[in-house]
Structure 1
Amino acid sequence: MTTDTTRHADRRISPVFLGIVAVMAVTGWAVWSDFSAGLGVAVFLFVTSAWVVSLCLHEYAHARTALHGGDISVGEKGYLTLNPLKYTHALLSIVLPVVFVILGGIGLPGGAVFIERGRIRGRWKHSLISAAGPLANVLFAVVCTAPFWLNALDGVPLGFRFALAFLALLQVTAAILNFLPVPGLDGYGVIEPWLSHKIRRQVEPYAPFGLLAVFGVLFIPEVNYAFFDAINAILRGLGVSEAETYCGQDFYRFWQTGGPCESVLNQ
C-alpha cells in the first residue's frame, strides 16, 4: 500500500542531484570570477555538470508527464527524485552523452526512463510524454541564451559568456536530435501512437539501434556540416554567434593547450 509518507519520499529531490547542482553552481562562479590558467578546467566542470543537470531534467520531464498521464509506477522507480542513478540505463542516459560532449561537442540524447505505457490511455498523452523530454532541453536552451537575446551581456565575463554559448549549443542539438522521428528517439515516440499496429510491429526491432544510426550518420561530413549549419542558424536567431560557441568549446577542451580563444580574454 502506498502511503503519503512513501509518496513524499518517492518525490524528494535526491542528494545526488543536489550535489551535481552544487558542482554546477560552484564551477559557474569560478568561471565568472577567474580568468587565470584554470579557466578551462572550470569551464569543463561547469558545462559538464550543467549538461548532466539538463539530462536529469529531461528524464524528469518524461516521468512527471507520465505520472499525470496515469503511470504512478514512476514514483516507485525513483524517477521523480532526479537521481540519475535511478535511470533504467544510467550508462546510456548519463555516461555516453557526457562522452559524446567531450569527444565531439554534440548533445546527443541518452537512454530513457522506463514508462509503463499500458497504464496510460489516450494517444495524446503518449505523445506528450515523449515530447516532454526534448521540450525540457528547449527550455534549458532558452534560459542559457536569455542574456544574448535580451541584450543583457553587459558585465558578463567573456569566459562565462563562452561557456553559456557552448552549453546552449548542446541543448539545441539535444532537442533537435531527440525530436527526430527515428525509432528509439523521442521524436518517434511522439508519432508512434498515431501509426498503425502493423507499422509499429515492423519498426520495433530497429528501436535499439536508432541512436547508433544517428551517431553514424552524423559522421558523414556532408551531413555533419549541414546539421551544424542549421544549429548555428538557430543560435544566431537567439543572439549567439558561432565564434562564441567555438570559444566555449575551445575552453571546454582545456587539455588542448594554446587554443585560439585564449588571447581574446587578454585583450
Structure 2
Amino acid sequence: MSFIDLNSDLGEGFGRWSLGDDLEMLGIVTSANIACGFHAGDPLVIRETVLGAREAGVSIGAHVGYRDLAGFGRRNMDVSSAELISDVIYQIGALQGVARAAGTTVTYVKPHGALYNTIVHDARQAQDVVTAISEIDPTLAILGLPGSEVLRAADKAGLRSVTEAFADRAYTPAGTLVSRKEAGSVLHDAALVAARMVQLATEGTLTAIDGSTITVVADSICVHGDSPGATELARQVRAALTAAAIDITAFAPRAGDPAAP
C-alpha cells in the first residue's frame, strides 16, 4: 500500500460539554467523521467543525448513529427498519445542510458506536443503513469494517465501500473489535499503536489480542479524537506512516477536487 487515509470522530461536543481537540486533530487527519446530533453534537458544534474541516482541506463524513445522546450512541438498539432508515436520512441531511451553508460538501458516511458494531453482523440493520444512503445520496461512500454485512450490502447496492482499521483498538482473532467492556480493548501506547499501523499499511496484518496474526486490509485508519492523548497518538501514527513512505491522503474527494485514489 502506497497511500492511506486517516479519519477521526469529531464534532462530538454538546452545549457546554467539550470533547477532544477538534481543531488540532483537523491538522493531522484527512477525513473528519462529524457527529450529526443523535449521539453527540449540537448545531453550533457541528457547524464549527464543518468550517474547521473546510479550512483544513479535510474531507467531511456524516457520523450517523442511534438516537442515544445519553449513552453516546454506544448502547445497542433494536429499532425498526422504517425508523432506522429515517434516522440515518435525517442525520445525513442535517450535515449536508450545514456543509452546503459553509460552502463545502459531505462525501461519505461512517456509522457510529453501537450501530457500527451491530451492522458488522446484523444484515437487516446493515441493509437499512445502505437503503438510507441510497435514497438520500448514492454518490456518498460508506466507511466500515472489512468483511462486514454493511459493506457487502453497499457493494450489492452499487455504493462505494471503504474499509477501515482502528489504530487504538484491539482486535479479536476473527478480525472484529474487542468489546470496550473487556480489558485491553483500547490501546494507549502511542509508539505501539504507530508501529501497528505501519504493519497494517505495509503488510496488511495486525496482531490480535490473543497474539495471533490476522489479515486486515484497510483504505483508512481511524484515530479516535476522544481518548486521552488522542492528538499525540494521531500525530505519531501519521509520522510513522510517512517515515515508512506511506502517503496520507483522503479516500473521498473534496468539493472541486479530482477523485482521490
Q: TM-score, structure 1 length as denominator?
A: 0.28
Q: Which one has a bigger Cα radius of gyration?
A: 1
Higher helix share: 1
TM-score of the pair, normalised by structure 2: 0.29
